[in-house]
Amino acid sequence: MKLQLAIDELNLNEALEQLESLAPYIDIVEVGTPFLIDAGREAVRQIKQKFPQLEVLCDAKIMDAGAYEAELAYDAGAEYVTVLGITDDLTIQGCVEQAKKQKRKVMVDMICVTGFAKRIPTLEKIGVDIIAVHTGADQQHAGRTPLEDLIEMKKYTKHTKIAVAGGINSQTIAEYVALKPDIVIVGSGILNAEDPVKEAKLIKTALK
C-alpha cells in the first residue's frame, strides 16, 4: 500500500519545507486542487525537481478537454492526473490515451458519483489505472467518511487499483488497511497534526 500526501492549504514554499521532513514516509505527493489553483503547474515542477524519488499527482479534477489538460499535468512532471468520475466517458478516454502516450497514469476521482455498480465497469473498460473513493471536505464536516464507499467499491472493482481519501488519520487507518486499498490518501491528518512527522510514521507503519 502506498501513502499519498495531499497538500491543499499550503503555499509552494511551505509545501517544499514540509516535504523535507515528510518525504521519507510518503510515496506520492498530491498537488491538491486548492494548491494547484494557488501555485499552478510550478508546484508540480518544483516538487518533482527537488524530490525526484517521489511520485507526483496533479489533482486537476479534469472535467473536460481530457487529453489536453492531462498533457499539461504530465508535461510538468506529474506521474498521475485526476479526472472526475462524473464527467463524460470521452473526457476520461482522452486522459487515458494521453497517459499511455507518456507512460503515465490516470486516477478517477469518484466524488459525488452514485451507482458504483454501473459506473465502475465502464471505467475499467476505458482502462483507467486507479479509481479513488473520495469523501470531500464538505461531506466530512457533515459527518460522512469514505469507509462505506470503499466497501461498496471493492464489490464492483475487478482489476483496477483502488485509492481512498477523506479524513483518514492514524486513529482510523486500521479500518482502511483491513480493506486493502492500493493507495491511502492523507492530507490534514498529517499536515495539521501536532507532530506531522510522527503522524506520517504511524500511518506508514500501519500500511506495512
pLDDT in tens, 40-57: 999 999 999 999 999 999
Confidence at 142, pLDDT banded by 50, 70, 90 = low
Parallel, antiparallel, or unpaired: how do β-strands 55-62 and 28-31 relate? Answer: parallel
pLDDT in tens, 12-22: 999 999 999 99
**Looking at the DSSP assignment, which residues form a beta bridge with residue 132?**
109, 163
3-state secondary structure of 142: coil
- Show the cell assigned to 55: 511520485
Q: Specify whether the CB–CB gap between 114 and 137 falls below 8 A.
A: no
The architecture in CATH of the region 2-207 reads Alpha-Beta Barrel (3.20)
Q: Over pLDDT 90: what percentage of the chain?
A: 90
Confidence at 138, pLDDT banded by 50, 70, 90 = confident
Task: Give the distance, in angstroms, between the CA of residue 42 and the centroid of all CA atoms in the same chain.
Answer: 18
pLDDT in tens, 89-100: 999 999 999 999
Give the separation between CA 193 and CA 114, rounded to whole angstroms. 32
Domain boundaries, the chain: 2-207
Give the separation between CA 64 and CA 87, rounded to whole angstroms. 7
**73: Cα within 13 Å, side-chain hemisphere:** 34
- The crossing angle, in degrees rounded to 10, of helices 196-207 and 12-22 is 60
Q: Specify whether the CB–CB gap between 179 and 154 falls below 8 A.
A: yes
Query: What's residue 140's pLDDT?
Result: 61
- Grid cell 509545501 in the structure block, residue: 15
**H/E segment holding residue 162:** strand 161-165
**Range 65-75 average pLDDT:** 98
Q: Specify whether the CB–CB gap between 74 and 99 falls below 8 A.
A: yes
Residues with Cβ within 8 Å of 13's Cβ and at least 6 positions away in sequence, in order, are none
- Show the cell assigned to 123: 471505467
Q: Which residues of 119-132 are buried (b: 16+ CB within 10 A; e: fewer)?
A: bbeebbebebbbbb
Residue 75 has pLDDT above 90, yes or no: yes
- Show the cell assigned to 186: 492523507
